Structure 1
Amino acid sequence: MNHQALSSFIWSVADLLRGDYKQSEYGRVILPFTVLRRLDCVLEGTKPAVLAEYAAKKHMPGHEHFLLRKSGQSFYNTSELDLPRLLGDQDHIRQNLYAYIQAFSPSARDIFERFEFHTQIERLAKANLLYLVAEKFAHIDLHPSTVDNASMGLVFEELIRKFAEISNETAGEHFTPREVIRLMVNLLFIEDDDVLTPGNAVVRTLYDPTAGTGGMLSIAGEHLLAHNPQARLTLYGQELNDESYAICKADMLIKGQDVANIVSGNTLSDDGHAAAKFDYMLSNPPFGVEWKKVEKAVRAEHEQKGFDGRFGPGLPRVSDGSMLFLMHLLSKMRPAREGGSRFGIVLNGSPLFTGGAGSGESEIRRYVLENDLVEAIIGLPTDMFYNTGIATYVWILSNRKVEDRRGHVQLIDASGFWQKMRKSLGSKRKEMSDAHIATVTRLFGDFTEAEMVTVLDAQGQPLRDADGKPCEPQLVTNTDSPPKPPGGGRLQRVPIARIFRNEEFGYTTLTVERPLRDENGNVVLGLKGKQKGQPQPDSALRDTENVPLTEDIAAYFQREVLPHASDAWIDEAKSKVGYEIPFNRHFYVFEPPRSLHAIDEELKAVSANIMRMLGELAE
């Protein structure tokens, strides 16, 4: 049974709840019962051994360690009950279910406390639904031999997506599509041969400050083990939403990770890993969500700790807190002398360009670019996420760049790398194939520029293959030889990957003043202090100019301003340095319009055709 069919089967429980529960409340029952059944099935094989060990050693101090060893997991249950056995005593199912949950080890019991499962048990019992719901889940086979961890993660995500749609949750607040995570994980590890080399027993740490249900952590771990089974990746995370946190914790329990590394709470106001540094990090923070609730704590840290805290570079506008997570991850980077770090974060378009020189957003961009931390930014297709169709970008940052990358940023436009899904899931209508992911990974790994080249014939149409179909565009890197066009034809080039120097994204905003004049047209001069005898500026004529950092300001002013305003000057006290990354502008390709003659000829042909059809109607 695939994950969609399985989640549909679980969703059928909603038929029992209808009437007693609102649609938006279904998840409060279905999610904890799904987790309970999964834990049930995971422990089934070792349950007799655990019960025997418990009977023999329950009075011994530290007997928990023996039980963990017998269970073969990082959790256990000392009750003889499980969901199928609970059905044998319908009259006492409520009391027995409580006893069963209390018999879990503390880390597993906390999961159900996060779900506030006791509230739902009481509510279901009062509505005479508890036995019926338990019966449904008791007959679902969630054994690891039937449903592996990866499929189980997809089941949870599918359920949460449905609940999010019903509840009209904020866009981007839930999980990241699996193919986007695979892409990010590829980019994270591709340059680290020591980690990916089979047999190399390295130990690394991975952190996600917006862990959700743990999808990013899980896929990163699976990716690394697939390449190097001897490698050990210790996973860390923090999650604000209690339901997502509970699922993430359950997933980590089953995978044998230390669940103490998964912390509940708001990452921005209450950092659960305050003193920690990590080798790798991944994050998909909420898009366009305001941070007013944590504004007091964040501003206090910014003002009191500065660069000794997490938010030294600056603060973005309160309406969008995604760049706060970017700075949070920067603060978690291991120093370069200790091996450094690399992280990937998904952001919407606004962090690329929002805010002028001196604004919080610009100062954050300035910090990461002037400190040479940005390796690449990848533009993803629209309609890739379940709750929003907006354009999104993956930023890859590192403080251990290889020599070729130093001082540069690679931009990759992968917005055209998608295929249509057979069935839309919420706002998600597109997906990246394995081939698309491999192409982006190769472009990043080779640190190369590239173009998508289409061969056009003499009429400006794409060449066709033997079957008469237009030939696919060809990806050409700066080390490849481009195809040759036929006689009279040409190559249509669309940039896909470009490399820039860090300073090419910077500019200086100049304040250009012009003199104030009296009614006779004479320049008004200052009468006091430093302004005595100096021309006074006319605020009505004040203007600004953005001069690229790669240009000389004096030469620019001489060339662009003075020919049009010979009396102008620069108020240097007001000059500010800013940074922006106009991603789309760097990939725009100008297509010249058709000639007027061609348009006239087409209009004549259309007009003649219309007159001919009118004549036929008149006959």
Structure 2
Amino acid sequence: MSTLGSFIWSIADQLRGPYRPNQYGNVILPLTILRRLDCILEPDREAVRGLAAKYDNPNRLKNEVKKVTGRPFYNTSNYSFVNLLEDADGLADNLSDYIDRFSPDVDVFEYFDFKKEILALAKAGLLREVVTSFKAIDLHPDVVSNADMGDAFEYIIRKFNEAANETSGDHYTPRDAIRLLVDLLFADKDADLTEAGIVRTLYDPTAGTGGMLTLAEEHLLAQNPEAKLSLYGQEYNSQSYAICKSDLLAKGHDATKIAFGNTLTDDAFKGRQFDFCMSNPPYGVDWKQHAKAIMKERGEAGPNGRFAPGLPATSDGQMLFLLHLVHKMRDPEDGGGRVGIVMNGSPLFSGAAESGPSNIRKWLLEEDLVEAIVALPANMFFNTGIATYIWILDNIKQPDRQGVVQLIDGTSFWTKMRKNLGSKNRELGEDDRAKIVRLHADFTDADPDYSKVLRNDEFGYWTITVERPLLDESGHPVVDPKGKLKPDTKKRDTENVPFTYGGSTAGASGKVEVINAYFDAEVKPHVPDAWIDWAKVKTGYEIPFTRHFYKYIPPRPLAEIDADLEKQVAKILDLLREVER
């Protein structure tokens, strides 16, 4: 829990009455951002005002300000938290002037519609009191680190969403999960990342409040303080976008690289690829309202489009983000790219053979893009206790990883939290994270309880349609005009035949041989008159993660169960005797 966030949220008590609890965030969030930027601007404020008087052109002014302060943004107002309160009657107008005079790239307050809130606060007689409270907080990065500021923002958002009965998980990802994702994303590139003066790009299409981008940068700079990581992101929630953009502005990043909008329908970085991509997309979110635009793009883009491999069910769009990220990986000839994405279990197995999800898995595996999948502990996220998985993809795998996928069961590596945060009551401690990262690095089957390495074709299967003859009233098979047996649709059945049946290592090329072997051994002995309709054979791929790590637990002996039942019966009889007395 963030102590700073708790303190800032306590200021919201001043809003009680004119504001309902689910409206507190409309005031608290933008004022927290404003105070953070205000503290950063304060040391150079007079110098910037002097430059503003000298240069009228915004671009020229921006360049001159950056030369003097090193910052990509500025504010030319005569007001700040230092003197806003000196003019009690003009506070609302002066605060609006302060917001208006930020450099054009600081558009974050527009997404809160904060000027409307300023007028509402003034009308309720609360503006001076709230501004006074925020003036008392020093939010300069030298006092409040970026990590602590991020924790504070996330605490405030969680409180805001709890009051509004919304899901906080839609806006940010727990820091412990992000750290594991970052560790795995950079794992095979750690040596390269220590090179002097390296420049790399990182992209998050569901940026939220920017937690993933921030922690990834911290990871890289811890390894190589001279490295530069250019951060790109897109976010569709206006408040999260505003926080993300202001946070990166405060750290000196180019704010134009953080875009507002829906990534699936309006890719803000179309045509651009990245060294690293990461995301925690929304799970189980319906994309019906965007289906027309997505299907249109798929048709127009052809085989090289981002959604070409297939489309998931419109009830769950997370695999669309998966495809989008793969499309954003830097081409192998340009150095390649890596992807880290957190998803629930659905993308592992949903959809029958040749359905959209199955075709997406088929493409990913046949293109040898999936490096590893890690099962996370349950109850890791704030708004759900369901199973979640980290997928790591790479389009230039290390030689020993080519043609295979590593599955890691990390469900038992967790630490109990002292206090629950929504559905989250478990976290990945440093030791837990280190164990999972070590399993990934060791890349072995030596500890099959936690790590398994499987060939890509071990996830493939064929769905075959087994037919049986239709019989007439006299019990004779019915044939069509060409003399072929007519099938009895009521007795029609389907079977899934693994590529690996009978120990085959031929993969998809073993189709006829393997299916016939399966049919002869598993079907024919039971229904001798059956046959395979080869025209209906379909190819599918699934990743049955749980099955690979299934541990058989034998049932208790019957005598032990009987003894327990007798004890319970005895207790019930004793209770009945007490009632009868």
**Range into which the TM-score falls when normalised by the shorter chain:** over 0.9
The 1:54–1:607 alpha-carbon spacing in structure 2 relative to 1, beyond 3 Å, is: closer
Question: In the alignment, what sits opposite 2:163?
Answer: 166
* 1:583 correspondence with 2:581: no
Matched residues in 2 for 1:62 and 1:354: separation? Answer: 54
Report how far residue 305 of structure 1 moved.
2.2
Q: Tell me which of 297, 301, 306 is aligned to 2:302.
A: 306
- Mean alpha-carbon deviation: is it higher for 219-228 or for 169-178? 169-178
- Mean alpha-carbon deviation: is it higher for 399-408 or for 60-69? 60-69
Matched residues in 1 for 2:146 and 2:58: separation? Answer: 34
Matches within 5 A, 1:529-544: 532-544=482-494
Q: Tell me which of 417, 424, 431 is aligned to 2:427.
A: 431
Paired amino acid for 2:76 = T
Matches within 5 A, 1:223-262: 223-262=219-258
Superposed CA deviations along residues 453-485 of structure 1, whole A, max 9, x for unmatched, are xxxxxxxxxxxxxxxxxxxxxxxx47xxxxxxx
Matched residues in 2 for 1:249 and 1:607: separation? Answer: 65
Question: In the alignment, what sits opposite 1:546?
Answer: 496
Aligned-partner SS, 1:243: helix
- Mean alpha-carbon deviation: is it higher for 340-349 or for 596-605? 596-605
Report how far residue 271 of structure 1 moved.
0.5
Question: In the alignment, what sits opposite 2:377?
Answer: 381
Question: In the alignment, what sits opposite 2:507?
Answer: none
8 Å contact from structure 1 (residues 443, 449) kept in 2? no
The 1:141–1:449 alpha-carbon spacing in structure 2 relative to 1, beyond 3 Å, is: same
* 1:25 correspondence with 2:23: yes
Q: Tell me which of 554, 560, 572 is aligned to 1:592.
A: 554
Report how far residue 420 of structure 1 moved.
1.1
Paired amino acid for 1:586 = H
Question: In the alignment, what sits opposite 2:114?
Answer: 117
TM-score by length of 2: 0.93
- Mean alpha-carbon deviation: is it higher for 134-143 or for 53-62? 53-62
8 Å contact from structure 1 (residues 171, 286) kept in 2? no
8 Å contact from structure 2 (residues 161, 168) kept in 1? no
Paired amino acid for 1:501 = R
8 Å contact from structure 2 (residues 3, 152) kept in 1? no
Report how far residue 612 of structure 1 moved.
13
The CA RMSD measured in Å over matched residues stands at: 2.4
Paired amino acid for 1:553 = I
Paired amino acid for 2:142 = S
Aligned-partner SS, 1:13: helix
Aligned-partner SS, 1:183: helix
* 1:442 correspondence with 2:438: yes
Question: In the alignment, what sits opposite 1:504?
Answer: 458
Question: In the alignment, what sits opposite 1:191?
Answer: 188
Matched residues in 2 for 1:405 and 1:76: separation? Answer: 48
The 1:610–1:66 alpha-carbon spacing in structure 2 relative to 1, beyond 3 Å, is: closer
Question: In the alignment, what sits opposite 2:46?
Answer: 48
Matched residues in 2 for 1:295 and 1:58: separation? Answer: 46
The 1:42–1:544 alpha-carbon spacing in structure 2 relative to 1, beyond 3 Å, is: same
8 Å contact from structure 2 (residues 52, 76) kept in 1? yes
* 1:178 correspondence with 2:175: yes
Question: In the alignment, what sits opposite 2:215?
Answer: 219
Aligned-partner SS, 2:475: coil
Report how far residue 68 of structure 1 moved.
2.5
Q: Tell me which of 135, 139, 143 is aligned to 2:140.
A: 143
- Mean alpha-carbon deviation: is it higher for 359-368 or for 188-197? 188-197
Q: Structure 2: which 5+ residue stretches go unaligned?
A: 502-513
Aligned-partner SS, 2:208: coil
Percent identity between matched residues is: 55
* 1:563 correspondence with 2:525: yes
Report how far residue 111 of structure 1 moved.
1.1
- Mean alpha-carbon deviation: is it higher for 10-19 or for 179-188? 10-19
Matched residues in 1 for 2:356 and 2:175: separation? Answer: 32
Q: Tell me which of 78, 81, 86 is aligned to 1:80.
A: 78
Superposed CA deviations along residues 525-571 of structure 1, whole A, max 9, x for unmatched, are 111xxxx1010011011000100012311010000000011111111
Aligned-partner SS, 1:266: coil
Report how far residue 404 of structure 1 moved.
1.0
Aligned-partner SS, 1:90: coil
Superposed CA deviations along residues 195-218 of structure 1, whole A, max 9, x for unmatched, are 332x52211110000001111001
TM-score by length of 1: 0.88
Matched residues in 2 for 1:428 and 1:195: separation? Answer: 35
Aligned-partner SS, 1:347: strand
Matched residues in 2 for 1:171 and 1:144: separation? Answer: 25
Matched residues in 2 for 1:564 and 1:181: separation? Answer: 52
Question: In the alignment, what sits opposite 1:492?
Answer: none
Matched residues in 2 for 1:585 and 1:77: separation? Answer: 58
The 1:56–1:404 alpha-carbon spacing in structure 2 relative to 1, beyond 3 Å, is: same
The 1:126–1:554 alpha-carbon spacing in structure 2 relative to 1, beyond 3 Å, is: same
The 1:517–1:34 alpha-carbon spacing in structure 2 relative to 1, beyond 3 Å, is: same
Question: In the alignment, what sits opposite 1:520?
Answer: 474
Report how far residue 582 of structure 1 moved.
1.2
Aligned-partner SS, 1:172: helix
Question: In the alignment, what sits opposite 2:403?
Answer: 407
The 1:95–1:363 alpha-carbon spacing in structure 2 relative to 1, beyond 3 Å, is: same
Report how far residue 433 of structure 1 moved.
0.2
Paired amino acid for 1:516 = L
The 1:83–1:548 alpha-carbon spacing in structure 2 relative to 1, beyond 3 Å, is: same
The 1:606–1:523 alpha-carbon spacing in structure 2 relative to 1, beyond 3 Å, is: closer
Report how far residue 6 of structure 1 moved.
1.2
8 Å contact from structure 1 (residues 524, 536) kept in 2? yes
Matches within 5 A, 1:5-20: 5-20=3-18
Matched residues in 1 for 2:309 and 2:553: separation? Answer: 40
Aligned-partner SS, 2:90: helix
